[in-house]
Structure 1
Amino acid sequence: MIYLLSDLDFSLPLSNPVVVFSLVLFIILFAPILFNKIKVPHIIGLILAGMIVGPYGLNLLLRDSSIVLFGTVGLLYIMFTAGLEIDLEEFRKNRITSLVFGLFTFLLPIGLGSVAVYYVLNFSWPTAILVASMFATHTLLAYPIASKYGINRIRSVTLTIGGTIITDILALLVLAAVIGTTRGDIDATFWVQLAISTLVFGAIIFFVFPLIARWFFKKFEDAVSQYIFVLAMVFLGAFLAELAGLEHIIGAFLAGLALNRFIPHSSALMNRIEFVGNAFFIPFFLISVGMLIDFSVLFKGLGALKVAAVMTVLGVLTKYLAALLTQKTFRLSPLERGMIYGLSTARVGATLAIVLVGYNIIIGETPTGEPIRLLNEDVLNGTIIMILITCTISSFVVERTAQQLALQEENVPRDEGDSNERILISLAYPDTVTELIDFGMMLKPRHSNVPVYALNIISDESDNGKTKTIAKKMMDKAVHHAAATEQTILPLTRFDVNVSNGIIYTLKEQNITDLIIGLHRSANQHNFLGATADSILRHTSETIFIYKSVQPFNTLKRLVVVVTIKAELEPGFAHWFSKLTTIAKEAGLPIDFFATPETIKELQDQQAAQKAEVKISCHAFSNWDDFLIFSREVKKDDLLVIVSSRKDHVSYQPSLEKLPYYLSNYFGSNSFIMLYPQQVERGIKMDDVQFVDGSLAETISDSVAQVSKAGRLWKRLFRKV
C-alpha cells in the first residue's frame, strides 16, 4: 500500500484528474450543507468553497482549462434554463416592462458610473465608460433560488430576465465601441456588419432552431438522445452568437427561448435538464467564480481597495435605483422590487468578459517598458471583489424575497373546484402509455395536488394470464414515466365483466371528474369510438377526453378547438375551458376557438373570469355541415379538439353524427381530442323532464334558447321539477 501511494502525486495544486474530480464532487456535496447551517445561501457557499480551495486560498486546485470549461458550461446553463423556463405569454405581456427595466438598469449605471469613475478614480473617459459598462451588466446567478421556490414564472422574474438580455447586449456593444475607438478600427462598416450578423443570428435561432427541434422530437424518443440534442443546440446557439459578434450567454438564452415550447415544464426532459444543471454544471461554475477571488489584493495598496469600494458602491446603488424606478413606473409591489433588485445585482459572466478583454488591451508603454493597459490590475482586482460582494447580496436578497413571494403565492385563493378534481387515465395499449400519461399530467394545474390515477381493466373476456402480464408492464411503465417528471401516478388494476363496466364503476368509486381514454386501434367511420367508449358515454356524466396521438405533444404548434352549438349552456362549460387553457399554458400553445357568436362571448367571459394566461383567438363558426373547411384550416402540427355532446343533451345536434366520417377520412394524419363535457346527472334526458307551471308544459329544450347562462338554466330546472 505504501509503495502504491508513493507513486501518486499529492503536490499542490493537485494534478491527478481522479483526485481533482473527487474533490470537486465532495465540495458540491458538502459545501451547501455546511453553509446552510449558518444560514448562508448554497450559491455563496459554493463560491466561498471555490475561494478556499483555489489558487488564492489553500491552492488545492488550479483554475485550469478544465475548470474554465465546466464553469463556462455552467454559466451558459443558467442562461439557457432562464430562457427555457420563462413563461412566454407572461414575457409577451411584459415585453414593454422588460424593455423599460433594461434601459433603466443600463442607463443609470453607465451614466452615474462613468461620471464617478472619471472624477473619483481619475480615469480617462474611454476607460471610465468601459468600467461603468461593467456596472450595467448583471448575471442571473440567483435564478436557481427563484426556481427552487417555484416562482420562476412570476412577473418580476420574467421582466428581470428580459431586462438582463437588453442591458447585457447594450453593455457588450459599449465594449465593442470603446475597443474599436481605442484601436482606431471602428467605422460605419463595423456597425453595418454587426447589425446584419445579428439579424442573421436571430433568424437562425428563432426560425431554423424550431424546425430542427420539431423534426428531432418527432423522430427520436430516446431520453438520452433528446438531452444530448438539447445540450448541442445550446452550445450551437452560443457559438453562433460569438460568430455574430455577440456574447455567448446571449446565444444560450435565446436558444432556451427558441426551445421553450418544445420542452414542457412538467415533462421528463425538463426534469433531466434541471437535475443535471443543478447537480453538476451550475455548481462547477460557482466554484470557478470563487477561485478567481483574491482577498490579498486589498492589502497590497490603496489603489485596488479604492477601486473596489467605488465599483461595489456604484454597482449596488445603481441597480437598486433601477429596480426602484421600475417599481414606481409600473406600480409593482415592494416584494417584486426586491426580486428585481436581487436578480439584477450579481455580476459574473459579461462583467468578467469585459474586464478581461480590457485588461488584455495594451494602449502604450511606460518609460521603463512596462505595458499600459486599458484596464489596469487595480480594476481587475476591484472587479473580482465587486463580483464576490454583489453575488453575496444577490443571493441573500433573492433567498429572502423568494420565500416571501412563495408564501404569498400559496396564500392566493384557489378555485375551490380544484380540490374536488380527480383525473383518471384508462390504459389499454402498451404503445400509447407515454402519450396518455403526458396528456393526463398536462390536465393537472402546475403545483396542484390533484390526484391522477392510471387504470387498467382485466376483463373476464380476455386471457387472464397474458393480460395480467401486459397490465403489470403498462402500470410499471406509467409509474416510471410519471416519476421521471417528478409527478405521482396512482396505479389501479381492476377485474370486471368487461372494460366499460370496470371504468364506469371506477369513476364512481374514486369520484373521478376527468376521464382520459385513447382512441381504439381499429377506429373507422363505421366503428369510430368503439363499444367501450359508447357505453361509457351513455352511463357517465364526467368530462371525457378521447385522445388520438399522431405526434408528440411538444411538437404541436396550436390548439384548434371547434365547439358545438349551445355548448355554453352545458354545466361543464367552465370546467372544460379551464382544462384546455391549462393544457395550452403547459405546452406553450395558442388556442383558436371556432364557435357561434353566443358561445364566443361566453368563452371570452370565461377567459376574463379565470384569468387565463394563454393566447386565445375566436372565430365565428356555426354551420356544421361545412365542417370540412377545417381540413384546410387544421395544419399538420395542430391539435384538433372537438367539443362534442352526448345524445339528448342541450348542445347535441345531428351533425355530430358525421364526425366519425370526417375524422376517419380527412384528419387521419392529425392528433385530435374528442371532448364530451360534464353533465349534471347521469340518465337525465332533456325530453324526460318538463316544467309544470299550471298552463302549457314546456320542455327544457324549448326553454334553453331563452336562457343565457348554464347555471341559471339548471337552477330553474331543479327548482321546478
Structure 2
Amino acid sequence: MEFILYLILILFFTKVAGDLSVRIGQPAVLGKLVVGILLGPAVLGWVEQGSFIDEFSEVGVLLLMFIAGLETDLEQLRKNWKSAFAVAIGGIILPFIGGYSIASAFGLSQTYALFLGVIFCATSVSISVQVLKEMNKLNSREGTTILGAAVIDDVLVVILLAVMMSVIGTGNDISIGMLVGKKLLFFIAIFLAGWYAVPRVMKWLAPLRVTEAVITAALVICFAFAYFAEFLQMAGIIGAFAAGIAISQTNYKHTVEEKIEPIAYSIFVPVFFVSIGLNVSFEGIGDQWGFLTSITIIACLTKLFGGWIGARVSGFNSKSSLVIGAGMVSRGEVALIIAATGLQAGLLLPEYFTSVVIMVIVTTLVTPPLLKIFFRESNP
C-alpha cells in the first residue's frame, strides 16, 4: 500500500505548491516541480522513484502532450513550419557547440565531449506546454512555433544520438538509413491514420452503449499512437501530440477535451511533475560544483539564444524570439533518457551522470519563470 501514501503526498503537496506559486506571480507548474525535489531523496526522502512513479508519470506526460495536440491550432502550425524548422536548427547547433566546448574545457575526451553536446541539444516542451496553457498562449504564433520546433528537434536529436552510438559507441551497430527510414515511416503512417482512420474509429466507437465511450476511444488512439512512436524509436510524446491533433479535426474535439483534463490533471500529470524532481540527488557532486555550474549556465544560454537566432532569422521580433528561445530551454525527460542511454553505452562517465541530471532539472525549473517574464515583456 506504499504507493497509496505516495499518491496522497504527491496530490496534496502539488496542489498546495501550485497555488503558492501562483500567489507569488509564478506559473503553478514551478511549484509542482519544486515539490518533487522536496519530497524526493534530495531533501525529505518521503517519495522514492519506482515502477509506480515511472508508469504514472509516463501516462501523465502522454496525456499532457495529447491535450496540447487537442488545443493546437493546426492552421497556425502549418503557417509557422519554416519558423519551427529554423528554431529547431538553431536550438541544436549552438547547444551542441556549447556542450562540446565546455566538456573539452574541463578535460573530457572528445568522445565524452561530443556526447555532452548531444545531451545539450535535447528539448522537452512538456513543461513549456503547461506554462503556455496556464497563460492561454498555446495557440499563439510563438506557442505553435515552440511545439513545431520541439517535434523537429526530437527527430534530429534521435538521429544525432544514433550516429554517435554507431560511430563511437560501445557495441552498437545502428543503421542510420534504417533509422531515418523509420522516422519517415512514422510520419507517413501517422498522417494517413490521422486523416483516414481516426475519424472513422471515433465515429464507430462513440455510439457504443457503454459509459464514456468517446473518451475511451480517444485514449485508445492516444496510447496507440504513442506506442507506435516508441516502436519506431520516436518519443512517445510525439505520437500522443499527433493523436491530439488528429482528434481535434473531428466533431468529438470538445467532448474529449472536456473529459480528458480532469483525468489528466487530477492524478497522472501531478505524478509526472513530481517524478522530474525525484531524479535530483546531491550525492557525489561535492567535487564537481564548477563543472555543474558551468554546464547548467551554458545549457540554458545556448538553447535560449539558439532558439532566439532561429526565430529572428524566420521573421520574429527580438522579444518574441526570446519567448521562443525560453520555451526550448527545458531538457526534461528527453535529456534524462539520452543521458541514461549514454551511460549504458559508455558515452557518459558515471561520475558525471549526477551533474548532468541536475543540469537537466535546473533547465526545467528555470523555463516557467523565463517564459512568463519574456511573454510579459513581448506583450506589455
Give the TM-score, by structure 2 length.
Answer: 0.90
User: Is 1:330 aligned to 2:314, yes or no?
Assistant: yes
8 Å contact kept, 1:205–1:237:
yes
Amino acid aligned to 1:278: Y
* 3-state SS of 2:173 partner: coil
Residue matched to 2:155: 169
Read off the aligned partner of 1:382 and give its amino acid letter: S
Which amino acid is the alignment partner of residue 365 of structure 2?
T
Change in CA separation of 1:94 and 1:139 when aligned onto 2, cut-off 3 Å? same
CA distance in 1 between counterparts of 2:305 and 2:43 reads 35
Correspondence for 1:339 among 323, 342, 349: 323
Matches of 1:280 and 1:339, distance apart in 2: 30
Where 1:262 maps in the other structure, the secondary structure is coil
Query: CA shift at 1:351, angstroms?
Result: 0.2
Q: What's the offset of the Cα at 1:40?
A: 4.2
Which position in structure 1 is the counterpart of 2:115? 130
In structure 1, which of residues 219, 226, 231 is the aligned counterpart of residue 214 of structure 2?
A: 226
Which residue of structure 2 lines up, in the alignment, with residue 274 of structure 1? 261
What CA deviation, in whole Å up to 9, does each residue of 1:34-56 have, x standing for no partner? 33344443212112111111123
- 1:142 is paired with a residue whose SS is helix
Residue equivalent to 2:224: 236
Q: Take 1:183 and 1:35, find their aligned partners in 2: how far apart are those partners? A: 45
Cα distance per residue 1:558-590 (max 9 Å; x no partner): xxxxxxxxxxxxxxxxxxxxxxxxxxxxxxxxx
Aligned CA distance change for structure 1 residues 268 and 192 (closer, same or farther; 3 Å) = same
- Contact 2:142 2:324 (8 Å CA) reproduced: yes
Q: CA deviation at 1:208?
A: 2.3
Is 1:320 paired with 2:304?
A: yes
The residue type paired with residue 295 of structure 1 is F
Ranked by relative contact order (alpha carbons within 8 Å, sequence separation 6 or more), the top structure is: 2
* Residue-by-residue CA offset, 1:511-569 (whole Å, 9 max, x unaligned): xxxxxxxxxxxxxxxxxxxxxxxxxxxxxxxxxxxxxxxxxxxxxxxxxxxxxxxxxxx
In structure 2, the partner of 1:80 is 66
Out of 228, 253, 277, the residue aligned to residue 290 of structure 1 is 277
Would you say 1:94 and 2:77 are equivalent positions? no
* 2:252 is the counterpart of 1:251: no
Residues of 2 paired with 1:87 and 1:28: CA distance?
29
Structure 2: unaligned runs, 5 residues or longer: none
Q: Normalized per residue, which structure has more strand?
A: 1
**TM-score, L = length of structure 1:** 0.49
Instruction: Please give the alpha-carbon distance, in whole angstroms, between the structure 2 residues aligned to 1:135 and 1:358.
Output: 13
- Judge conservation of contact 2:91–2:310 (CA < 8 Å) in 1: no
Within 5 Å, give how 1:528-567 maps onto structure 2. none
Shift of 1:295: 3.1
In 2, Cα distance between the equivalents of 1:153 and 1:315?
Answer: 27
What is the deviation of 1:289? 0.5
Gaps of 5+ in 1: 1-14, 362-372, 409-721
1:360 corresponds in structure 2 to 344
- 2:186 is the alignment partner of 1:201: yes
**Equivalents in 1 of 2:375, 2:262: separation in Å?**
20
Between the aligned partners of 2:284 and 2:368, the Cα distance in structure 1 is 24
Aligned-residue offset at 1:377 = 3.0
In structure 1, C-alpha distance between the alignment counterparts of 2:372 and 2:341, rounded to whole Å: 32
Q: How far does residue 263 in structure 1 lie from its aligned partner after superposition? A: 6.1
Amino acid at match of 1:377: P
For 1:78 and 1:24, locate their aligned partners in 2 and report how far apart those are by CA, in whole Å.
17
Q: How large is the Cα RMSD of the aligned pairs? A: 2.3
Deviation at 1:135, TM superposition (A): 1.1
- CA separation in 2, counterparts of 1:194 and 1:404? 41
Q: Does 1:70 align with 2:56?
A: yes
Distance in 1, matches of 2:4 and 2:305, equals 47
Contact between 1:151 and 1:402, CA under 8 Å: does it hold in 2?
A: no
Query: 1:616-663 CA deviation, whole Å, 9 max, x = no partner?
Result: xxxxxxxxxxxxxxxxxxxxxxxxxxxxxxxxxxxxxxxxxxxxxxxx
- Indicate if the aligned counterparts of 1:130 and 1:174 stay in contact, CA closer than 8 A: no
1:87 & 1:321 partners in 2: Cα distance?
26
- Say yes or no: does 1:144 pair with 2:130: yes
Q: Distance in 2 between matches of 1:88 and 1:382?
A: 39
Q: Which amino acid aligns with 2:359?
A: M
Tell me the SS of whatever aligns to 2:249. helix
Structure 1 position 296, deviation (Å):
4.4
The correspondence for 2:14, drawn from 28, 35, 51, is 28
Q: In structure 2, what is the Cα distance between the partners aligned to 1:77 and 1:395?
A: 19
Name the one with the larger helix percent.
2
Q: Which residue of 2 aligns with 1:374?
A: 347
> Does the Cα contact within 8 Å between 1:137 and 1:347 map onto a contact in 2?
yes
1:113/1:128 contact within 8 Å kept: yes
Name the aligned partner's letter for residue 262 of structure 1.
Answer: T
Structure 2 residue corresponding to 1:192, chosen from 177, 189, 199: 177
How far apart are the structure 2 equivalents of 1:96 and 1:112? Answer: 24
Residue 105 of structure 1: CA displacement?
Answer: 0.7
Residue 376 (structure 1) shift: 2.0
Change (3 A) 1:330 1:271: same
Contact 1:359 1:380 in 2 (8 A): yes
In the alignment, which residue of structure 2 is the partner of 1:115?
101
1:306-326 superposed Cα distances (whole Å, 9 cap, x missing partner) = 332232122111112223313
**1:66 positional shift:** 0.5
Distance in 1 of aligned mates of 2:54 and 2:284: 22
Q: Deviations over 1:149-193 (max 9, x none)?
A: 222111111111111111121111122222222235436xx1232
Give the count of matched residue pairs.
Answer: 375
- Residue identity matched to 1:390: T
Partner of 2:5 in structure 1?
Answer: 19
Kept in 2, the 8 Å contact 1:241–1:251? The answer is yes
Whether the aligned pair in 2 keeps the contact of 1:99 and 1:166 (CA below 8 Å) is yes
Contact 1:307 1:378 (C-alpha < 8 Å) held by counterparts = no
Seen in structure 2, the aligned counterparts of structure 1 residues 198 and 392 have a Cα distance that, compared at 3 Å, is: closer
2:31 matched residue in structure 1 = 45
Q: Contact 1:338/1:397 (CA < 8 Å) preserved in 2?
A: no
Label 1:36 to 1:153 Cα distance change in 2 as closer, same or farther (>3 A).
closer
The C-alpha deviation readout for 1:182-214, integer Å capped at 9, x for no partner, is 235436xx1232233333322321112443321
Q: 1:392 aligns with which of 337, 354, 365?
A: 365
**Which secondary structure state, in structure 1, belongs to the residue aligned with residue 280 of structure 2?**
coil
Q: Distance in 1 between matches of 2:130 and 2:242?
A: 18
Determine the C-alpha separation between the residues in 2 that align with 1:163 and 1:243: 22
How far does residue 254 in structure 1 lie from its aligned partner after superposition? 2.6
Instruction: Report the Cα distance in structure 1 between the residues aligned to 2:146 and 2:50, rounded to whole angstroms.
Output: 33
Q: Which amino acid aligns with 1:355?
A: A
